[in-house]
Structure formats: structure tokens, C-alpha cells
């Protein structure tokens, strides 16, 4: 009997340890330069939680184009890399005394396309997706954007009240996509994280009948003006969404006023939109939306309204218009930014200027996605490394310029990079293949991992001297974690390896080799 109990105990311990033990990527190559990691009902790669280690021990996690996926190795302060020419090292000093912005979070988005595609997987695979994103055996997402009714990533255009001229909003109701997909999935995400997720609501279009052009898409704005019954009705329409989700047990952390508001001025714009300029958003928030949300229990003490929710080149003008108005900033907490026009969106130092002028307003990246531009029949680009480099580069540059977090777009998409009711198909960090009972962790998943896993909310960026920022080639940032650990993140998009000699006044210096086309996240403790 004793032997039996001992055996059971050993087996139980073995399995308990197994569940806390990282499992490697099951790599598969499609026709691109890097690999994806395959998850099935029997297998999916996992990570260990980040825990405190001995002072001066550095855990180096590395992913690269050649196929590493968060492979971990240990080095120590005071080490040597024999045979490397001393002139090859880039010397960087970490200065924990100079702190910059705090991290709000990293995450993804509950679009209809994601919710419906995820729903086509078995329950087991759906859980594996949620664990991969939200749990501590995954990448520990802490925030997520939720679409208020439909976007282009839906399989139909709709709003929550498509009864023409229903100004009393009597026909307002949630739809199947919310009730049977988004709401249960958001609960599962919170279960996997084990604590509340910061949910952010964003609307693409009001009901067509509330708009000057009478359509969900194309150019059009809200009928009426700030202070009018029409604008107040739209504010109530939006509030009903947050009330309905609250009744379903889901509290939101905040909202953006309108997704990509400047697209609503384009007469030919193909999908759901509504035009606002900076003055209109400022006035809508201070006179209509802000007070109406507050009356419903979504006041500025606990609910974060963000403006813009559009590309970086617009950021400075919008910040100046909205944040200079004290009645608006009673409700507005931050600026939401998107990354599109990647490469031509202009320098990131607009964010430094905005932060210097309006230090009480945060800047949060609320949307980004990409796709294989070379083949319209292969938008998903499974294993195409540049898709990951675009993410990692933008995230790190944002963080080096006061941005407080980064939100990916579709959580999952199908093998066509859809569904999308206007054919604007894209890639995503996880692509689902329900026919084969598999899903694929695409390269962008690991780009997100290198930040989200290592920078929990309330981590702070700290100074490095000199700053390392060879735009688009090689970038380095350092951060202090809430557990006292230090995280160093490096993005190398060069064809050659790099060598770093990082000095920390508390520990001396450590030498690390960084692979070509790689992401590095290091964690160490004092």
C-alpha cells in the first residue's frame, strides 16, 4: 500500500511538473522563409511562467527566422564570449533611475471574423487558443479590443438597431455574434487569464439611418450636431452595448469614440465607417457621450474614453484639439493610435511631443495587422518572417516613444485570412484550420510574445545609454517589471548577428550574442 501511494505521489508530481513545463514548437514549413507552430488536440507548444531567478542570472529567450521559438538559455553577468572581437560589441548601460511610461497592456481583438472562425474549432482546440493567448502557459494578454457590432471583419454588415428611424432605440438588441460567440469567448479568456482583462469597445458605424448618407459604409457622418437629440441618441445607442455586456457579466475598461474616423470622409470607403474630425470627437465626448456614459455608471473614475483610434500622422493635431479642452479631458483619458501606412507613417517622435505637452493623457496602440502582400490567394502568409518583424519593430519603437501598450487585430482568422464581408482579407497570429483539426501559431504570435509575456501591466520603460534605435534594423529597450525584474528586448532585422555588452550598475556586465533576424527578451533579477 505504501509503495502504491508513493508511486501515485511520484506520478502526480511528475504530471504537476509536466503541466508547468514548457513544451517546444511543433514546427511546420509552408512555402515561406520561416515556420509556424502546429497545435492539434494532442499537442500545443507552451511556456513556463516567468519566475524570479538568482541575482545576476539572465534568461535569454530568442525567436528567429531560422526557426527558434522562444528558446531559452541562461547566461550570467560577468561572463565572457571568447573569440569575439571586442570591437564587435555594442555597449549599453541600463539606468533604472530614469523611468518613463507604465505599460497598460498587450492583447488582441474580438472581431466577428475571429469569434466565428474560433467557433469552428472543437472545444478542446478553442481552449488551447485561449490558453495560448491569455494564460501563463501562453503569452498572458491583459487587454483586448471588442468590436461594437460589425466591422469589415464580419460576414455581413449590420448594427444593433437596423429598424429605420427607431430614434427611441426600441429595437436595439445584441446579435448572434455577441451572444453565442464573443460573450462566451471573452468569459473563457478571463478564466484563462485568471483576472480581469481590460476590454476596450470600438464602433465602426452607427446604424445606417443615423447617418447623413443612409449607409453603413461610404462617406457619411452622424445626422445632427453636438448637443442634438440625434447625437445624444447615438451616445445612448453606444451605452446600451456596455450595459448589455455588463448584464452578461463583462465589464469594460474603456472605449474609443470611433474606429478610424477619417475614413468616414471618403465617399468611396468600402466598409463600415463614420466620419468625425478632431473637433467633432471633442464636442461629442464633452457634450453627449461623456455625460451619458457617466450617468450609466461608466464615469471617468473607472472608464477610459480614448479619441482618434486612427493612424500616427493624425496624432499630433488630434491631441492638440482634444487635450487642450478641459471639458473634454474630464472624460478623455488617452489617444488611441493605429500603425497603418507602415514605413511611411512618419517618425515616432510625434508621440514624444504629445507626451511632453499632455503628460496626463496616455497613448495606446489599438490596432495593427498585416498580410502577405505578394499573393492575394495567400494572405495568411504562414511562416513569412517579415510579418513578425513588422510587428516587433512597431511595438518596440512605440514603446521607446511613450506608447503604453499594443493591440493586435483579429485574434484568429481562417485559411483564407477571412471572413471579411468586403474581401479585405489579412493574416493573423493564429490561423485556424478546422477541416484538419489544427491551428497554426504564425510568426506574429511570437512577436507579440516577446513583449506581452515579459512586460506585465505596470512594467515601466527605463533608460538605456546610449539609446539603441537603428530604425528598422536593430532596436533595444529596457523595462522594469512589477516583480522587480529587468527585461531587455532586442529586435534584430539585420542579416548578421549582433553582440551586446549590457552593463547594469547593480550587477556588472553581461555579453550576449543575438542571432540574425531575431527577437530577444531577457529577464534578470538583482
Ligand X SMILES: *[C@@H]1O[C@H](CO)[C@@H](O)[C@H](O)[C@H]1NC(C)=O
Q: Which three cell numbers stand for residue 234?
A: 447615438
Among 323-331, 359-367, 419-427, 497-505, the segment contacting ligand X (CB under 6 A): 419-427
Judge whether 316 counts as a catalytic residue: no
According to the binding rule CB under 6 A, does residue 466 interact with ligand X? no
Minimum distance from residue 113 beta carbon to ligand X (Å)? 7
| Pick 228 or 424: Cβ nearer ligand X | 424
One of 221, 233, 273, 420 touching ligand X (CB under 6 A): 420
Among 3-11, 125-133, 200-208, 415-423, the segment contacting ligand X (CB under 6 A): 415-423
Judge whether 373 counts as a catalytic residue: no
According to the binding rule CB under 6 A, does residue 414 interact with ligand X? yes
Among 14-22, 170-178, 413-421, 453-461, the segment contacting ligand X (CB under 6 A): 413-421
Angle at 155 between CA 224 and CA 199, to 5 degrees: 65
205, 272 contact by CB (below 8 A): yes
Please state, in angstroms and rounded to a whole number, the distance separating the CA atoms of residues 4 and 208.
70
Minimum distance from residue 375 beta carbon to ligand X (Å)? 10
The answer to whether the bond into 466 is cis (omega within 30° of 0) is yes
One of 423, 467, 482, 508 touching ligand X (CB under 6 A): 423
| Pick 57 or 422: Cβ nearer ligand X | 422
Residues in the chain: 526
Could you tell me how many residues of this chain bind ligand X (CB under 6 A)? 7
| Pick 281 or 414: Cβ nearer ligand X | 414
Please state, in angstroms and rounded to a whole number, the distance separating the CA atoms of residues 113 and 378.
17
- Give the number of other CB atoms < 10 A from CB of residue 217: 24
According to the binding rule CB under 6 A, does residue 381 interact with ligand X? no
Minimum distance from residue 431 beta carbon to ligand X (Å)? 11
Among 277-285, 295-303, 414-422, 475-483, the segment contacting ligand X (CB under 6 A): 414-422
According to the binding rule CB under 6 A, does residue 151 interact with ligand X? no
Sign of CA dihedral 93, 97, 98, 103: positive
Question: CB under 8 Å to 302, separation ≥6 — which residues?
Answer: none
| Pick 69 or 426: Cβ nearer ligand X | 426
| Pick 112 or 309: Cβ nearer ligand X | 112
| Pick 32 or 379: Cβ nearer ligand X | 379
Minimum distance from residue 369 beta carbon to ligand X (Å)? 14
81, 493 contact by CB (below 8 A): no
According to the binding rule CB under 6 A, does residue 112 interact with ligand X? no
According to the binding rule CB under 6 A, does residue 419 interact with ligand X? yes
One of 212, 213, 320, 416 touching ligand X (CB under 6 A): 416
Among residues 260, 281, 475, 498, the one annotated as catalytic is 260
Please state, in angstroms and rounded to a whole number, the distance separating the CA atoms of residues 247 and 179.
12
Helix, coil or strand: residue 143: strand
Among 302-310, 315-323, 418-426, 453-461, the segment contacting ligand X (CB under 6 A): 418-426
Minimum distance from residue 425 beta carbon to ligand X (Å)? 4
457, 106 contact by CB (below 8 A): no
Minimum distance from residue 434 beta carbon to ligand X (Å)? 11
One of 418, 456, 477, 485 touching ligand X (CB under 6 A): 418
Helices assigned H by DSSP within 121-247: 123-134, 176, 183-193, 229-247
| Closest residue to ligand X in the complex (CB) | 418
One of 425, 442, 459, 521 touching ligand X (CB under 6 A): 425
Helix, coil or strand: residue 365: strand
What DSSP letter does each residue of 403-469 carry, written as one string? Answer: EEEEEEEES-B-TTS---TTS-----SEEEEGGGTEEEE-HHHHHHHHHHTT--TT-EEEEEES-EE
366, 394 contact by CB (below 8 A): no
Please state, in angstroms and rounded to a whole number, the distance separating the CA atoms of residues 501 and 84.
11
448, 429 contact by CB (below 8 A): yes
Among 30-38, 125-133, 318-326, 417-425, the segment contacting ligand X (CB under 6 A): 417-425
Among residues 177, 367, 438, 515, the one annotated as catalytic is 367
- Residue 191 φ/ψ region, left for φ over 0, alpha for ψ in the -120 to 50 degree band, beta for the rest: alpha
The dihedrals phi and psi of 199, each to the nearest 5 degrees, come to -90, 135
Which residues of the shown chain bind ligand X in the complex (CB under 6 A)?
Answer: 414, 416, 418-420, 423, 425
Catalytic annotation, residues: 260, 367
Amino acid at each position: 500500500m505504501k509503495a502504491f501511494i508513493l508511486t501515485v505521489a511520484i506520478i502526480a508530481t511528475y504530471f504537476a511538473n509536466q503541466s508547468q513545463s514548457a513544451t517546444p514548437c511543433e514546427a511546420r514549413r509552408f512555402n515561406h522563409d520561416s515556420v509556424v507552430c502546429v497545435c492539434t488536440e494532442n499537442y500545443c507548444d507552451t511556456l513556463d511562467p516567468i519566475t524570479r531567478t538568482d541575482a545576476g542570472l539572465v534568461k535569454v529567450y530568442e525567436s528567429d527566422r531560422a526557426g527558434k521559438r522562444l528558446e531559452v538559455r541562461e547566461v550570467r553577468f560577468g561572463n565572457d564570449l571568447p573569440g569575439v572581437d571586442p570591437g564587435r560589441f555594442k555597449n549599453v548601460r541600463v539606468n533604472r533611475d530614469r523611468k518613463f511610461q507604465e505599460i497598460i497592456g498587450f492583447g488582441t481583438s474580438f472581431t466577428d471574423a475571429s469569434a466565428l472562425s474560433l467557433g469552428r474549432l472543437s472545444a478542446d482546440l478553442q481552449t488551447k487558443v485561449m490558453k495560448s493567448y491569455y494564460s501563463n502557459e501562453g503569452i498572458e494578454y491583459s487587454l483586448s479590443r471588442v468590436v461594437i457590432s460589425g466591422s469589415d471583419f464580419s460576414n455581413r454588415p449590420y448594427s444593433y438597431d437596423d429598424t429605420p428611424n427607431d430614434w427611441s432605440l426600441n429595437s436595439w438588441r445584441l446579435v448572434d455574434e455577441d451572444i453565442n460567440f464573443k460573450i462566451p469567448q471573452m468569459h473563457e479568456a478571463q478564466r484563462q487569464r485568471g483576472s480581469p482583462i481590460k476590454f476596450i469597445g470600438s464602433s465602426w458605424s452607427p446604424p445606417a439611418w443615423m447617418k447623413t448618407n443612409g449607409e453603413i459604409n461610404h462617406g457619411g457622418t452622424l445626422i445632427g450636431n453636438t448637443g442634438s437629440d440625434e447625437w445624444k441618441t447615438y451616445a445612448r445607442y453606444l451605452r446600451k452595448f456596455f450595459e448589455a455586456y455588463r448584464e452578461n457579466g463583462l465589464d469594460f475598461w474603456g472605449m474609443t469614440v470611433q474606429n478610424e474616423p477619417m475614413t468616414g470622409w471618403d465617399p468611396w470607403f468600402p466598409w463600415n465607417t463614420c466620419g468625425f474630425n478632431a473637433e467633432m470627437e471633442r464636442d461629442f465626448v464633452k457634450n453627449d457621450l461623456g455625460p451619458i456614459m457617466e450617468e450609466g455608471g461608466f464615469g471617468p473614475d473607472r472608464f477610459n474614453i480614448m479619441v482618434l483610434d486612427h493612424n500616427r500622422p493624425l496624432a499630433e493635431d488630434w491631441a492638440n484639439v482634444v487635450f487642450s479642452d478641459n471639458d473634454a479631458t474630464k472624460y478623455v483619458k488617452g489617444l488611441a493610435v493605429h500603425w497603418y501606412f507602415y514605413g511611411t507613417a512618419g517618425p515616432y517622435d510625434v508621440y514624444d511631443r504629445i507626451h511632453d505637452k499632455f503628460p496626463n493623457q496616455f497613448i495606446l496602440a489599438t490596432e495593427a495587422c498585416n498580410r502577405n502582400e505578394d499573393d492575394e490567394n495567400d494572405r495568411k502568409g504562414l511562416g513569412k518572417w517579415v510579418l513578425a518583424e513588422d510587428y516587433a519593430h512597431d511595438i518596440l519603437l512605440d514603446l521607446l516613444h511613450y506608447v503604453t501598450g499594443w493591440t493586435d487585430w483579429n485574434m484568429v482568422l481562417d485559411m483564407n485570412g477571412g471572413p471579411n464581408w468586403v474581401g479585405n482579407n489579412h493574416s493573423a497570429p493564429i490561423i485556424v484550420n478546422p477541416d484538419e483539426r489544427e491551428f497554426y501559431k504564425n510568426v506574429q504570435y511570437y512577436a507579440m510574445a516577446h513583449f506581452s509575456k515579459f512586460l506585465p501591466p505596470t512594467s515601466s520603460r527605463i533608460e538605456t545609454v546610449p539609446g539603441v534605435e537603428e530604425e528598422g534594423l536593430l532596436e533595444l529597450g529596457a523595462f522594469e517589471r512589477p516583480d522587480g525584474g529587468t527585461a531587455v528586448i532586442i529586435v534584430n532585422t539585420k542579416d548578421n548577428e549582433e553582440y551586446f555588452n549590457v552593463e547594469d550598475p547593480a550587477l556588472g556586465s553581461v555579453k550576449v550574442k543575438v542571432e540574425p533576424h531575431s527577437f530577444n527578451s531577457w529577464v534578470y533579477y538583482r
